[in-house]
């Protein structure tokens, strides 16, 4: 986990109100690929942030424990989900008992982990046959205005500093079986909400307030050319990967305190 990952803390409220959620089809796919319903499953939502994925998991009847290292994000999650168990920890070192959960989820957060640690930790806490599900909402590059905006973000950040492709990197061991799905969806929001969504990304936390304000003002002008009414149809491709812990093999790992 890096300082960049923890940079979201200062915009926790903005993050919670402006970031997109997830379509119901995503959770249908998680159930299909994991081979069990969310209803009654014990789920560990790692890198839970403000609970954007935690809420629909709970709505599906899952018994969810949220894992979030950032104090600001965790505080926002506690305000909106006061009865959800919350563990302040990193995915690289989970204070959760071996073979104790049915599903480990990472919504927009796997890329902040060290897979040399986070993969064994996820497999350790999963019961045999349990599933690890990773997903990202990616701005859909097949939509022309989205592609143009992504190019402007690249220019603002400098070469290599902003990359949707980097967020999609699974970094799972090559010999670990996995299934993939891509689910496209849209949401319609006011332009101000779209700009607040952009401003909650780690890129702008690093650029600073003045540079962020200047870039978002430019984005407002560009987007009004495409959406003159001030209502933006955001287009996303949710990229989902699910892998199962083998049902008949053991995962090495020392004892851990139960969360």
**77 near 86, Cβ under 8 Å?**
yes
Q: How far apart are CA 173 and CA 192, in angstroms?
A: 40
**129 near 245, Cβ under 8 Å?**
yes
Span of 61-70, 115-124, 163-172 with lowest mean pLDDT: 163-172
Tens-place pLDDT, residues 196-218 = 998 887 777 677 788 889 999 99
Backbone angles phi, psi at 242, to 5 degrees: -130, 135
- Across the beta sheet with 101-107, the strand order is 86-87, 63-67, 42-46, 101-107, 126-139, 231-244, 179-190
Q: How confident is the model at residue 248 (pLDDT cuts 50, 70, 90)?
A: low
Q: Look-up: residue for tokens 């190019």? A: 151
Tens-place pLDDT, residues 13-59 = 676 777 899 999 999 999 999 999 999 999 999 999 999 999 999 99
Q: Which residues pair with 64 in a beta bridge?
A: 43
Sequence-separated (6 or more) residues with CB below 8 Å from residue 85:
64, 65, 66, 259
Sequence-separated (6 or more) residues with CB below 8 Å from residue 137:
20, 22, 108, 236, 237, 238
**199 near 170, Cβ under 8 Å?**
no
The half-sphere exposure of 191 on its side-chain side, counting CA atoms within 13 A, is 16
Backbone angles phi, psi at 181, to 5 degrees: -140, 150
Residue among 113, 133, 231 nearest 183 (CA): 133
**93 near 31, Cβ under 8 Å?**
no
Coil, strand or helix at 114:
coil
Q: How confident is the model at residue 1 (pLDDT cuts 50, 70, 90)?
A: very low
Q: How confident is the model at residue 170 (pLDDT cuts 50, 70, 90)?
A: low
Q: State pTM to two decimals.
A: 0.85
* Angle of CA points 136, 53, 177, to nearest 5°: 50
Tens-place pLDDT, residues 223-232 = 999 999 999 9
């Amino acid at each position: 986990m890096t300082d960049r990952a923890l940079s979201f803390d200062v915009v926790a409220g903005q993050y919670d109100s402006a970031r997109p959620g997830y379509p119901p089809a995503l959770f249908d796919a998680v159930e299909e690929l994991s081979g069990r319903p969310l209803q009654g499953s014990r789920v560990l939502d790692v890198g839970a942030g403000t609970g954007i994925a935690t809420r629909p998991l709970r709505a599906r009847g899952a018994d969810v424990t949220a894992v979030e290292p950032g104090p600001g994000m965790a505080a926002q999650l506690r305000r909106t989900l006061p009865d959800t168990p919350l563990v302040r920890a990193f995915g690289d070192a989970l204070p959760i008992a071996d073979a104790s959960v049915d599903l480990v989820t990472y919504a927009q957060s796997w890329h902040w982990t060290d897979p040399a640690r986070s993969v064994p930790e996820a497999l350790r806490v999963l019961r045999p046959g349990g599933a690890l599900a990773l997903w990202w909402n990616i701005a859909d590059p097949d939509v022309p205005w989205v592609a143009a905006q992504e190019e402007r973000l690249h220019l603002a950040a400098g070469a290599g500093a902003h990359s949707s492709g980097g967020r999609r990197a699974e970094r799972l061991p090559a010999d670990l079986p996995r299934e993939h799905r891509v689910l496209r969806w849209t949401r319609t929001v006011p332009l101000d909400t779209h700009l607040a969504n952009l401003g909650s990304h780690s890129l702008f936390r690093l650029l600073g307030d003045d540079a962020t304000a200047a870039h978002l003002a430019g984005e407002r002008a560009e987007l009004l050319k495409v959406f003159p009414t001030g209502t933006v149809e955001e287009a996303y491709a949710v990229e989902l990967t699910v892998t199962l812990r083998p049902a008949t093999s053991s995962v090495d790992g020392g004892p851990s305190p139960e969360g």
